[in-house]
């Protein structure tokens, strides 16, 4: 069986996954599932990048041993990926012995090729990026991504002769135009290669957290040099040679557009130097934005993927992200838009179609459908859909693949409206026509469910079961199951609404924006996301009608639940703990134009993260007086637009006769520390 080895970027674990990092894993999972559907022996690897200084600092902040902290985070990441139905085959951690062995093997090979040398390094280093920065990379002396001042470092480092690989890299790009996709990313890297490459430092001196450099154990391997090797260690470099030969080179690395330089310049050059094959392809997807800004834990603009999946179940989220954001481009996430698309694509369209077709099959044919009639227009359209779908999915135009299936669903709705089976059912003389219409609509729906399987694995399985197709997911194949079948009687069952229309009440809760996504014990998986209890609607009920039965949809995020035994006006400790109070440090302050009361504060809220908070303290504090102060603030308030800006939190202050007095601490705790 042909093989396909697919990886995602491995995540830093200084905080939990956010919807941006989850987007990568979801879309890679869609690809992995599509490859399995295509019959490829697919190996899908994800993992955690643990040797970052941010991880080390975060563990220290929590008073934990870094490795013990990473162990806990591994479980947190696995829980989130499990809740999103990500079907990875292996999960690598860079602190695992198999990875250490691979890093040693790789560095030794590169050293033997004569590509390492020692020199002094002096320059900027952004810990947030874990990257050496040149003066020209900075904006107003700050890292443009993290908006923090990089560290100036001066140390004796080991360097990799990256510059020696420029011509080979250019030749590789020329011979393999498919190597980096989409095209816009390829062009960026080509420009960079044409401008010339500098050698890079691959070690950090005097640090304990990392893999000791085999050629100089007083230094550790630079975290990116270490992390990239995970793709090879996961399939046995340095530990299982036969396995490595089986799986290497990787067929596809799915990564974000911010890290293409590492994957398409440094990584292939490392492999060339080590005498190993270069991965076949890298896909640099775009960013998920929140209100126009990159979703990021350090910028405080992150949505918790668990909150998003809880809203309508993981499949609805997977569909939204895959269908709405053209793969390769950036896209904005908002709960409002998510709900709108849920109602349109799932409640009104696919869900309604499933209800109508199965309910009619049960009502008019006791659930037994037989093939009848000659090939229909819908069958012709389905053939085009399959071709369009595979062409799109094979080139990772995932959004187009899904849209082509939606065109088939639209056509099926039109077909039903045109042939009106509910009218045909009124006269026995139309029996043959009714058989034909019901069978054709059910087959079209079956096909659509097979094609949407990689995107919505569990709900399409439920649809297929209702349509009498009981092939286990693992045995489903595009070539057989993804083709129109004009034969075989079908035993159809109807059931509860898969996606009841979201009521406005469900939208009342403001979107949950999680600013710090710090280690959150007990983050809930979404296992109970769908408990359909709605009776099947009457088949004549038009699309878009609300199916509203309490409990039919995942519970919306509700305001504090009070224990009936608790007196009015009193909250429980659980209620209190929902408010995340934290310590912050004011890095900058400025007046808000046209406001007498507000100051715009840039607040450091963790080891390496910051956020904007608008505070109504301008009448009590000058900007100069507040910069440098340690404050208390509410960290998990939904962002609030004020005076054309957005506040990501609320500063705690006592109100004494209209004057604000900020909290004071005996010894200022580190930013991010929780206040209870
Ligand atoms: N640890 C490095 C990757 C090493 S791979 C050898 C890293 N980690 S990360 O946690 O910061 O990011 C993990 C992945 O998520 C990266 O591919 C990154 O581009 C992606 N994303 C981070 N924020 C994102 C969005 N807002 N939207 C989409 N993808 C995002 O980088």
pLDDT digits (tens, 9 = 90+) for 490-541: 999 999 999 999 976 454 444 444 434 444 333 333 333 332 222 222 333 3
Atom 25, ligand 1: residue with shortest CA distance: 20
Distance 54 CA to ligand 1 centre (A): 14
Atom of ligand 1 nearest to the CA of 256: 19
Q: What is the pLDDT of residue 568?
A: 57
Query: Could you tell me the distance, in angstroms and rounded to a whole number, from the CA of residue 25 to the centre of ligand 1?
Result: 10
pLDDT value, residue 670? 83
Q: What is the model's pLDDT at position 663?
A: 87
**CA–CA dist 245, 499 (Å, integer):** 46
Pairing assessment for the beta strands 200-201 and 151-160 based on DSSP bridges:
antiparallel
Q: Whose CA is nearest to atom 16 of ligand 1?
A: 256
Instruction: Return the best residue to mutate from 11, 95, 322 for the ligand 1 pocket (most ligand atoms within 8 A of CB).
Output: 11
Instruction: Determine which residue's CA is closest to atom 18 belonging to ligand 1.
Output: 256
What is the reported pLDDT for 607? 67
For 423-457, give the secondary structure using H, E and C. HHCCCHHHHHHHHHHHHHHHHHHHHHHHHHCCCCH
Q: Which residues of the chain have pLDDT under 70?
A: 504-569, 572, 574, 607-609, 638-639, 641, 644
C-alpha distances in angstroms, 491 versus 469, 477, 605?
8, 21, 58
Q: Output the pLDDT for position 569.
A: 63
Pocket of ligand 1 (CB under 6 A): 9-12, 20-21, 23-24, 49, 227-228, 230, 255-256, 258-259, 287-288, 294-296
For residues 288 and 285, give the distance between their C-alpha atoms in angstroms, rounded to a whole number: 10
Which residue among 21, 293, 332 is best mutated to probe the pocket of ligand 1, counting the most ligand atoms within 8 A of its Cβ?
21
Cα(121)–Cα(107) distance, integer angstroms: 19
Burial (0-12, 13-18, 19+ Cβ within 10 Å), 466:
buried
CA distance 167 to 113: 17
Q: For residue 11, how far is its CA from the centre of ligand 1 (angstroms)?
A: 6
Ligand 1 mean position to 256 CA, how many Å? Answer: 6
Which stretch of DSSP H or E encloses residue 83?
Answer: helix 66-83
Ligand 1 atom closest to the CA of 227, numbered from 1: 6
Stated pTM of the model: 0.78
pLDDT for the residue numbered 135: 87
Q: Who's near 482: CB < 8 A, 6+ residues apart?
A: 37, 386, 447, 450, 451
pLDDT at 298: 73
For residue 10, the CA-to-ligand 1 centroid distance in Å is: 8
**What is the per-residue pLDDT for 186?**
97
């Amino acid at each position: 069986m042909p093989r396909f080895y697919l990886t995602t970027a491995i995540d830093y674990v200084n905080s939990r996954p956010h919807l941006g990092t989850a987007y990568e894993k979801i879309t890679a999972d869609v690809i992995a599932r599509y490859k399995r559907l295509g019959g490829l022996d697919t190996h899908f690897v994800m993992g955690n990048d643990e040797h970052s200084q941010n991880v080390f600092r975060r563990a220290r902040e929590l008073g934990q041993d870094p490795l013990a902290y990473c162990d806990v985070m591994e479980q947190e990441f696995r829980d989130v990926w499990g809740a999103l139905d990500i079907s990875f085959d292996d999960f690598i951690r860079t602190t695992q012995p198999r990875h250490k062995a691979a890093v040693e093997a790789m560095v030794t090979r590169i050293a033997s090729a004569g590509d390492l040398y020692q020199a002094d390094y002096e320059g900027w280093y952004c810990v947030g990026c874990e990257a050496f920065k040149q003066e020209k990379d900075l904006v107003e002396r700050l890292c443009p991504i993290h908006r923090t001042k990089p560290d100036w470092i001066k140390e004796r480092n080991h360097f990799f002769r990256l510059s020696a690989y420029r011509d080979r890299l250019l030749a590789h790009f020329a011979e393999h135009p498919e190597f980096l996709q989409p095209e816009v990313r390829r062009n960026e890297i080509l420009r960079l290669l044409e401008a010339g490459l500098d050698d890079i430092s691959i070690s950090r001196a005097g640090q304990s957290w990392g893999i000791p450099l085999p050629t100089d154990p007083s230094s550790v391997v630079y975290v990116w040099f270490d992390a990239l090797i995970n793709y090879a260690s996961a399939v046995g470099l340095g530990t299982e040679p036969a396995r490595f030969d089986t799986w290497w080179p990787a067929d596809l690395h799915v990564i974000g557009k911010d890290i293409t330089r590492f994957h398409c310049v440094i990584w292939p050059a490392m492999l060339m130097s080590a005498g190993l094959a270069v991965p076949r392809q890298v896909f640099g997807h775009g960013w998920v934005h929140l209100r126009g800004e990159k979703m990021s834990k350090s910028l405080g603009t992150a949505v918790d993927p668990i909150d998003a999946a809880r809203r309508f179940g993981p499949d609805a989220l997977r569909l939204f992200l895959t269908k709405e954001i053209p793969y390769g481009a950036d896209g904005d996430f908002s709960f409002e838009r998510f709900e709108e698309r849920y109602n349109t694509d799932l409640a009104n369209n696919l869900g309604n179609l499933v209800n109508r077709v199965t309910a009619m099959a049960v009502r008019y044919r006791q659930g037994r459908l037989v093939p009848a009639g000659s090939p229909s227009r819908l069958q012709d359209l389905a053939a085009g859909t399959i071709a369009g779908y595979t062409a799109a999915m094979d080139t990772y135009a995932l959004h187009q693949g899904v849209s082509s299936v939606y065109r088939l669903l639209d056509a099926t709705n039109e077909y039903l409206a045109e042939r009106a089976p509910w009218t045909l059912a009124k006269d026995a003389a139309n029996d043959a026509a009714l058989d034909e219409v019901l069978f054709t609509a059910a087959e079209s729906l079956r096909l659509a469910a097979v094609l949407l399987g990689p995107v919505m694995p569990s709900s399409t399985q439920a649809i297929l079961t209702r349509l009498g197709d009981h092939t286990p997911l693992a045995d489903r194949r595009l070539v057989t199951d993804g083709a129109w079948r004009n034969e075989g009687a079908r035993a159809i069952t109807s059931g509860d609404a898969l996606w009841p229309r979201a009521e406005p009440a469900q939208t009342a809760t403001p979107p949950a924006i999680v600013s710090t996504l710090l280690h959150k014990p007990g983050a809930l998986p979404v296992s109970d996301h769908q408990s359909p209890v709605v009776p099947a609607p009457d088949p004549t009920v038009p699309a878009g009608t609300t199916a509203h039965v309490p409990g039919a949809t995942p519970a919306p995020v509700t305001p504090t639940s009070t224990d009936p035994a608790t007196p009015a006006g009193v909250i429980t400790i659980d209620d209190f703990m929902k408010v995340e109070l934290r310590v912050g440090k004011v890095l900058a302050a400025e007046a808000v134009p046209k406001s007498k009361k507000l100051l715009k504060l840039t607040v450091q809220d963790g080891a390496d993260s910051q956020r904007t908070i608008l505070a109504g303290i301008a009448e009590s504090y000058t900007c100069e007086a507040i910069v440098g102060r340690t404050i208390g603030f509410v960290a998990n308030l939904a962002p609030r637009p004020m005076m054309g800006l957005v506040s990501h939190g609320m500063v705690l202050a006592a109100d004494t006769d209209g004057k604000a007095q900020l909290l004071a601490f005996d010894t200022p705790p580190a930013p991010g520390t929780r206040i209870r």
